[in-house]
Chains A and B, each alone.
Chain A
Amino acid sequence: MSSREAILKAIKEAKPQNSESALPEVNILHTTYEDLDTKFATTLAGVGGNAVHLDSLSAVDGYIKEHYKEAKVIVSTVEGLHVNTKELGATDDPHTLKDVDLAIIKGEFAVAENGAVWIKEADARHRALYFITQKLMIIVPKEQIVHSMHEAYTRISFGDKDIFGLFISGPSKTADIEQSLVIGAHGATEACVVFI
């Protein structure tokens, strides 16, 4: 008998015969917020990130020039920006992204309760970009903001072609040395969410 069969057989014999344990619904009554933008911004600030509201993509160009003066290598997966110095799809090897100072990526929607943004870019060739970049900017369409993870997961699906998606809530962080919070562990050291 293969290990697969042995394990499944052992489970069949051992599992609790629990007739009343139906799978519950998950859309429970949950906390909502009066002002989603404010709640999101406060929560994100609490986890070390910041939220900005801008009018247009050209305003984003200006914002980047002003706030990321030292960023030499910039990769954007957002169309219509003019700050790119490197194309994500141009390289076969994600290791070549190790010098990226700023990555600008597309978020689908934001979650007010925890400062997270859902990202699932079918066209981004290398997911490594999200983690290897020194600083991260996520562009989210204005109004695309939900109260909680319950609402968030009603908007998420994984089709046959989808291979990766994630929530990012602020910059990477650690408190592994004496419980002291340090922003910037292995991933981005700054995370800015821009609503346009």
Chain B
Amino acid sequence: MSHNHPELAEKFASNVERMKWHDKALWFVRVKRDTQAKSLDEWEELRNTADKIKSHTLSHLDEYLEQFEKNALARGIRVHWAKDAKEHNEIVLDLLRSHNAKMIVKSKSMLTEECHLNPYLEEHGIEVVDTDLGERIVQLRNEPPSHIVLPAIHLKKEDVGTTFEKFLNTQKGNSDPTYLTRAARAHLREKFVGADASMTGVNFAIAETGGIVVCTNEGNADLGASLPKLHIACMGIEKIIPRLKDLSIFTRLLARSATGQPVTTYTSHYHGAVEGGEMHVVIVDNGRTKILADKRYVKSLQCIRCGACLNTCPIYRRSGGYSYGYVIPGPIGSTLAPSRDLKKYYSLPFACSLCFSCSNICPVKVDLAEQLYLKRQDVVDAGYLSPIKLNALKMATWLMCRPKLMDFAGLMARKMVPILPRVLLYSKFNLWGKNRELPSFPKNSFKELYKAKKGIK
């Protein structure tokens, strides 16, 4: 079944107050990001260098993965390879079973969301506790995350309050963020101490040293991974960076772009297991090599999952994460999802005004808007566009190929629209007049103005 962004966006936007609040909350994060970016004269140089490192790495990806594996193995870290989500989930389950793990603590990993690991493990009798506060909130509510960095950004504190009342026995009606965070801290501490194994994502895997880096603010990944004997870290093939010192670029960009902080609270470099424990890294393809093969979209593999493109996107801010129907929403999701399944996610490249803010803000210079523009053409070529839109485009093409007729149509519009009664002008057929006033119509066309100015007859 295909997924319809406009329909779901409309649903989200029908609560106007909530929509405006969501828009503002994310814009607040964007402004914090700007303050951080502007505090460094070298910001653009950082972006350029990050882009070059990632682009170089992708064109030598096999070599760096093999180098990483060799160095990780030498350190006693076990390395696994998974072609797809199914194999990834099976590897994780096997590891957990071999350690007789019944309950695991997990920090944020968009990869495990992509693989639908939680439901798979739960079906097999393993209790999975998401430990990032935002993720725990949505997990208790049985919802997916709506943002890759701020998983519960769609919720108000009152929503969290009622959720915690139900699951954590907090005071009725108390929705103070500090109170609720303390309650979650107490609740999750029990889980941390009781867990049989831990899982984390990977922000960066260093080929040169064979270690991985995990960045968090809450300390949940680290607390989780430092107590039990088993630590499983899952990464997509594109998470690799060549050298340890490359982190000097990425750690300066990541948190500043994500939340407007100078760095995350914890930037942990894991190069081995805890005393007497085991550390495993699962390297996952799951469709990434398909993107690698397509020159037009290969840069989407450079993404470091900071979420800046979500925060800046005028569509995301007003339509919410769930309107995308994919594990990663926003501009980056709108290219990754159709790369996975064009038919199902055909509407996402159109969830974009081509304002290019995402391309301009991306810390690793993924050409997001350019990709969405190309994806739209893929959708049309594949015949997935709705007949209404397709016919409208065909009519526009027909008209634009006939300049005289086009001029006449323009003249008629300029003459007629201003004298049409409102009832007719703002009828349901005019989507441009929905929730907004049309601009006042000029007397002359652009062509006429241009000719007059240039003195062309």
Main secondary structure of the interface of A (DSSP, over half): loop
B42 within 8 A of A: yes
Chain B residues with CB under 8 A of A184 = 181-182, 185
A107 within 8 A of B: no
Write the nearest CB–CB distance from B44 to chain A, whole angstroms: 10
Write the nearest CB–CB distance from A61 to chain B, whole angstroms: 27
B137 within 8 A of A: yes
Contact across chains for B56 and A186 when beta carbons are under 8 A apart: no
Q: Mark B42-80, 1 if CB is under 8 A from A, else 0.
A: 100110010011011011111001100000001100000
A150 within 8 A of B: yes
Question: What residue of chain B has the Cβ atom nearest to residue A172's Cβ?
Answer: B219
Question: What residue of chain A has the Cβ atom nearest to residue B24's Cβ?
Answer: A179
Question: What residue of chain B has the Cβ atom nearest to residue A5's Cβ?
Answer: B81
Q: In whole angstroms, how far apart are the Cα atoms of A26 and B48 in the complex?
A: 11
B4 within 8 A of A: no
Question: What residue of chain B has the Cβ atom nearest to residue A120's Cβ?
Answer: B269
Q: In whole angstroms, how far apart are the Cα atoms of A116 and B182 in the complex?
A: 24
Interface centre among A14, A171, A173 (most CB of B within 10 A): A14
Number of chain B interface residues as a range? 35 or more
Report if A126-B274 is in contact (Cβ < 8 Å); known contacts: A7-B285, A176-B133, A186-B185.
Answer: yes
Report if A186-B262 is in contact (Cβ < 8 Å); known contacts: A16-B298, A28-B49, A149-B251.
Answer: no
Contact across chains for A169 and B263 when beta carbons are under 8 A apart: yes
Contacting residues of chain A (17-58) with chain B, CB-CB under 8 angstroms: 17-18, 21-24, 26, 28-31, 43, 46-47
B267 within 8 A of A: yes
Contacting residues of chain B (203-221) with chain A, CB-CB under 8 angstroms: 209, 211, 217-220
Interface centre among A26, A126, A150, A156 (most CB of B within 10 A): A26
Write the nearest CB–CB distance from A138 to chain B, whole angstroms: 13
Contact across chains for B259 and A162 when beta carbons are under 8 A apart: no
B438 within 8 A of A: no
Contact across chains for B181 and A182 when beta carbons are under 8 A apart: yes
Write the nearest CB–CB distance from B315 to chain A, whole angstroms: 20
Chain A residues with CB under 8 A of B109 = none
Which one of B177, B244, B293 lies within 8 Å of A178 (CB-CB)? B177
Q: In whole angstroms, how far apart are the Cα atoms of A191 and B167 in the complex?
A: 31
Write the nearest CB–CB distance from A91 to chain B, whole angstroms: 11
Q: In whole angstroms, how far apart are the Cα atoms of A104 and B243 in the complex?
A: 31
Contact across chains for B285 and A178 when beta carbons are under 8 A apart: no
Q: In whole angstroms, how far apart are the Cα atoms of A15 and B252 in the complex?
A: 27
Chain B residues with CB under 8 A of A92 = 275-276
Chain B residues with CB under 8 A of A188 = 219
Contact across chains for B289 and A14 when beta carbons are under 8 A apart: yes
Question: What residue of chain B has the Cβ atom nearest to residue A131's Cβ?
Answer: B223
Q: In whole angstroms, how far apart are the Cα atoms of A127 and B290 in the complex?
A: 39
Chain B residues with CB under 8 A of A18 = 55-56, 59
Contact across chains for A177 and B177 when beta carbons are under 8 A apart: yes
Q: In whole angstroms, how far apart are the Cα atoms of A16 and B58 in the complex?
A: 7
Chain B residues with CB under 8 A of A46 = 262
Contact across chains for A24 and B49 when beta carbons are under 8 A apart: yes
Q: In whole angstroms, how far apart are the Cα atoms of A99 and B55 in the complex?
A: 47
Q: In whole angstroms, how far apart are the Cα atoms of A195 and B155 in the complex?
A: 42
Interface residues of chain A, those whose CB is within 8 Å of chain B, are: 2-4, 6-8, 10-18, 21-24, 26, 28-31, 43, 46-47, 92, 94-95, 98, 111, 113-116, 125-128, 130-132, 148-150, 152-154, 156-158, 160, 162-180, 182, 184-188
26 contacts between A and B (CB under 8 A): A11-B289, A14-B292, A15-B60, A18-B55, A21-B56, A26-B248, A28-B49, A29-B45, A30-B42, A92-B276, A94-B274, A114-B263, A149-B252, A162-B271, A165-B269, A166-B268, A166-B269, A167-B263, A170-B265, A172-B219, A172-B266, A173-B217, A177-B133, A179-B153, A180-B177, A185-B220
Question: 13 more A-B contacts (CB under 8 A) besides A7-B65, A177-B180?
Answer: A14-B292, A16-B298, A26-B243, A30-B40, A30-B42, A46-B262, A95-B227, A160-B74, A164-B269, A169-B265, A176-B134, A176-B151, A184-B185
